[in-house]
Every structure is written in structure tokens, then in C-alpha cells.
């Protein structure tokens, strides 16, 4: 057991990025498992060199600022060198915590095939023209006879028009990130009194989520904490679109094996924002109007991943109308080294009111900001399907880094 504990402690050190940031006046934290700290050889941090780096101001190109940085030698027991880390002192980012429900409208081209349906001919026989032509569930249809597809209604109307005119449908689609093509003959369906090829499709343009933060200085926002994942099958990660105000009209509670969801309606007035990036850690863009959170009349500092602790915290989200409410959670585990997985924290809903209303984490709650110790710590991202009281969250700094790198 002791060897395992030692391995965890040294893993924290050896996997530490060689470039770290700390807020001015604070020190770099490399937390071992606290309950076993007395058993571990001490990892000392020796400051070898102090640097003053001069950088141009992002807001005032003619001004410069001096940033202090330190070169730290990390040693086991004060003797065995483990790693050298450059630590830069930075000023905390100040952001308005979100919690607002938003409607997400992405301007995608294409629809996803979600099923096949029978086309009933004059003799009552059932045919499946699209299936017979090789189209499969999960294929992403981009255009028909050179006409770009944006919605279920559009594909229905185009197929009916081509059928009336006696034209086959040359369908371009994407499967496994590969562009493919097939030709389908529309058939007249006696049941629907229209020309069809026998497909059920879903457009990928809308959904309900939660705003995570708003920057009052730049107008930038971040939401969701994860990519809009149903934009698959070759659709670009960066898609232009909009977010708009949304109100929650109802909640479908989650249970083991069955995730719940918020049932919302888009309002679209008062404020909206652009979607400039649909990235790994959320959707990002600019709001046209400033917004506020009544719980926080002032912007909050953003917590660095190392500042987020296991223990109590709060999330802010909407479960009825547009009223943001605070709910208690527990941060069970932090994983600052797991950025590549997008899963920086494991959280548990502990608030009785939220558990009674939703059963735990539900769809539409993604992006709900997590606040701990007066800092914006992160955002809710995913629910555990077999335990809706628990789920994953990402760190707020990960969202900021992705937005600023785009």
C-alpha cells in the first residue's frame, strides 16, 4: 500500500508541466494524498533563479508589464533531483459567473440518418430505397443533387420535388470521416401521398445548455464545458452560430441508466451571442449585451486547477423559468493532469432540492459554473449514466486557454 501511495505522490511531481502559473503572492502547490502526507518523503521546492519577463500588454500595445517568474528545483528528501519547473506569477482573471440557460443554434450543413422507414407502394408492398442504396444509420448527409441540406423539412421537400420531376437523388454523405456518394430513386408513398426514399433524419442545429462565464471587459463568453458532440461525421469543429436566452419549462428527472434533461424554449430577445468556436471545452464567442448574476455583483477570480480542492462547492443553474439558483455539491476528486481527457474533476450533487427536482445532473446542465472559495473553479460537463448524482467537470482555466488559443 505504501508503495502505491508513494507512486501517486511522485506521479503528481513527474507529470507536472515544466511551465506553471501561480497568482502573485501565492506559491506552487503539489498536493500529496493528505491523509498519508506524514508517510511520504518530503518533496522540496528550491528557488534557483528569479526572472523578470517583460511582455506587451494585450489591451494596450504601447504598454508593457513586468512578470516575475521563478525556476524551481523539485527534490525528494531535499537531495534527489526530480524535476525543474519554471513558475510564472500572474494576476487572476476576473469573470462574471454564469448559470443562465441558453439556446444553442449552430449553422451546420447536413443531417444525420437516425433510421429507415418503409415506403408503401400502390400494391401495398414496403420498400426501403435509401437502405437498398447503401445508406446506413449514422451517415451524415450533406447534399442532394448539389443542394446543401440544413434540416429535416428541407430534405423532405427536395425529395418530393425530385420525385415529381422524375429525377433520381444523387446523395453525398460522410461515413467514418470519408466522403461517399450513392444514387437513390424516390418512390411514391401511398400512406403519406408524397415521394420518399425512406429515411428518418435529425438536424443538428439546436440544444439547451448553460452559460459558464462572461468577461465584462471583452464581451467574451464560454459555455457548456464540452463540445457539441452530436456534430459528428466530418462536420467541422469550428462552426458559426448563435446562443440566445432560454427559459426552462420543465425537467425530466434522471435515474440510473436514464439521463434526465431540461425542457427549454428559446426566447431570443434581450441578449444573444455569436458562436465562434465549438471546441473540446465548450462553445465560445461574444455576447452582444452585458449580463449579470445576482449572486455575484462583481466578477470572480478564476481558480487555477491546483487551487481547486476536494470538498464542498456550489453550482449555479436554472431548473425553472430563467431564475438562477445555487445548489450544493461536493468535489470528490480533482485531476489537473487529465486535460487530454477533458475530465478534470469528479463531482457529486448533494443539495436535497436539486436531487428532488432533477435526480442529479441532467442534460442542459452542462456548463453550469462551479464556485468554490470565492473563485470560479470550473463547469459541469457529463453525468455518470449509472449514477446521476455524480459526474465530471472541467476546470475554468481549461476553457479560457482553449478560447484564447483559437
Query: What would the pLDDT profile of 221-236 be if each residue is shown by its tens digit?
Result: 999 999 885 444 333 4
Which one of 143, 168, 351, 387 is the catalytic residue?
A: 351
Give pLDDT tens digits for 294-330.
999 899 999 999 899 999 999 999 999 999 999 999 9
Per-position b or e across 160-185, b if 16+ CB within 10 A of its CB: bebbeeeeebebbbbbeeeeeeeebb
Locate 371 and state its grid cell.
Answer: 464556485
Q: Which residues contact 80 (CB under 8 A, 6 or more apart)?
A: none
Q: pLDDT truncated to tens, each residue of the chain (406 aa)?
A: 545 545 555 566 565 666 666 666 566 665 544 433 333 344 444 444 444 443 333 333 344 444 566 666 666 656 667 667 666 666 778 999 999 999 987 766 688 887 888 899 888 889 999 999 999 987 889 899 999 887 778 888 999 999 999 999 999 998 877 899 999 999 999 888 999 999 888 766 668 999 999 999 999 999 999 988 544 433 344 456 789 899 999 999 988 888 899 998 888 667 889 988 888 999 999 998 899 999 998 999 999 998 999 999 999 999 999 999 999 999 999 998 888 888 999 999 999 999 999 999 999 999 999 999 999 999 999 999 889 999 999 999 999 999 998 7
Name the segment(s) of the chain with CATH classification 2.40.10.120: 95-106+206-405
Give domain 111-203's CATH superfamily. PDZ domain (2.30.42.10)
Classify domain 95-106+206-405 at the CATH class level.
Answer: mainly beta
Please count the residues of the chain. Answer: 406
366 is catalytic: yes
Count of C-beta atoms within a 10 Å radius of residue 156: 17
116 is catalytic: no
Which one of 69, 366, 368, 382 is the catalytic residue?
A: 366
The answer to whether the Cα torsion of 204, 208, 213, 217 is positive or negative is positive
Task: With CA atoms as reference, report the closest residue to 121 among 36, 209, 194.
Answer: 194
How far is Cα of residue 203 from the mean position of the Cα atoms in its chain? 20
Q: What is the pLDDT of residue 26?
A: 65
Q: Using CA atoms, how far apart are residues 228 and 180, in angstroms rounded to an integer?
A: 24
Count of C-beta atoms within a 10 Å radius of residue 3: 7
Name the segment(s) of the chain with CATH classification 2.30.42.10: 111-203
Which one of 226, 233, 314, 382 is the catalytic residue?
A: 226
38 is catalytic: no
Amino acid at each position: 500500500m505504501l508503495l502505491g501511495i508513494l507512486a501517486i505522490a511522485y506521479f503528481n511531481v513527474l507529470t507536472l508541466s515544466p511551465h506553471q502559473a501561480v497568482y502573485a503572492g501565492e506559491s506552487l502547490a503539489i498536493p500529496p494524498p493528505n491523509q498519508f502526507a506524514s508517510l511520504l518523503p518530503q518533496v522540496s521546492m528550491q528557488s534557483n533563479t528569479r526572472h523578470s519577463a517583460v511582455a506587451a500588454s494585450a489591451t494596450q500595445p504601447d504598454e508593457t508589464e513586468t512578470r516575475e517568474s521563478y525556476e524551481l528545483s523539485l527534490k525528494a528528501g531535499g537531495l534527489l533531483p526530480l524535476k525543474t519547473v519554471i513558475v510564472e506569477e500572474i494576476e487572476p482573471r476576473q469573470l462574471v459567473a454564469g448559470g443562465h440557460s441558453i439556446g444553442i443554434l449552430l449553422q451546420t450543413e447536413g443531417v444525420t440518418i437516425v433510421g429507415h422507414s418503409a415506403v408503401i407502394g400502390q400494391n401495398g408492398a414496403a420498400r426501403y430505397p435509401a437502405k437498398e442504396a447503401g445508406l446506413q444509420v449514422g451517415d451524415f448527409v450533406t447534399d442532394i443533387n448539389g443542394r446543401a441540406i440544413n434540416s429535416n423539412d428541407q430534405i423532405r421537400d427536395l425529395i418530393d420535388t425530385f420525385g415529381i420531376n422524375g429525377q433520381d437523388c444523387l446523395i453525398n454523405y460522410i461515413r467514418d470521416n470519408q466522403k461517399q456518394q450513392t444514387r437513390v430513386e424516390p418512390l411514391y408513398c401511398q400512406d403519406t401521398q408524397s415521394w420518399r426514399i425512406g429515411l428518418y433524419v435529425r438536424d443538428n442545429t439546436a440544444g439547451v445548455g448553460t452559460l459558464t462565464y462572461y468577461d465584462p471587459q471583452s464581451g467574451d463568453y464560454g459555455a457548456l464545458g464540452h463540445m457539441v458532440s452530436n456534430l459528428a461525421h466530418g462536420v467541422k469543429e469550428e462552426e458559426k452560430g448563435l446562443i440566445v436566452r432560454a427559459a426552462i419549462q420543465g425537467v425530466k428527472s434522471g435515474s440510473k441508466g436514464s439521463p434526465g434533461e431540461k425542457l427549454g424554449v428559446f426566447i431570443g430577445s434581450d441578449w444573444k451571442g455569436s458562436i465562434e468556436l465549438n471546441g473540446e471545452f465548450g462553445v465560445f464567442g461574444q455576447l452582444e449585451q452585458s449580463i449579470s448574476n445576482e449572486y455575484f455583483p462583481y466578477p470572480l477570480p478564476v481558480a487555477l486547477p491546483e487551487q481547486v480542492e476536494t470538498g464542498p462547492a456550489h453550482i449555479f443553474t436554472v431548473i425553472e423559468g430563467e431564475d438562477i439558483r445555487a445548489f450544493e455539491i461536493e468535489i470528490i476528486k480533482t485531476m489537473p493532469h487529465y486535460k487530454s481527457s477533458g475530465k478534470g474533476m469528479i463531482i457529486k450533487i448533494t443539495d436535497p432540492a436539486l436531487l428532488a427536482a432533477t435526480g442529479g445532473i441532467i442534460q442542459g446542465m452542462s456548463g453550469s459554473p462551479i464556485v468554490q472559495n470565492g473563485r470560479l473553479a470550473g463547469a459541469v460537463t457529463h453525468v455518470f449514466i449509472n449514477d446521476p448524482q455524480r459526474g465530471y467537470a472541467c476546470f475554468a482555466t481549461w476553457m479560457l486557454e482553449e478560447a484564447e488559443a483559437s
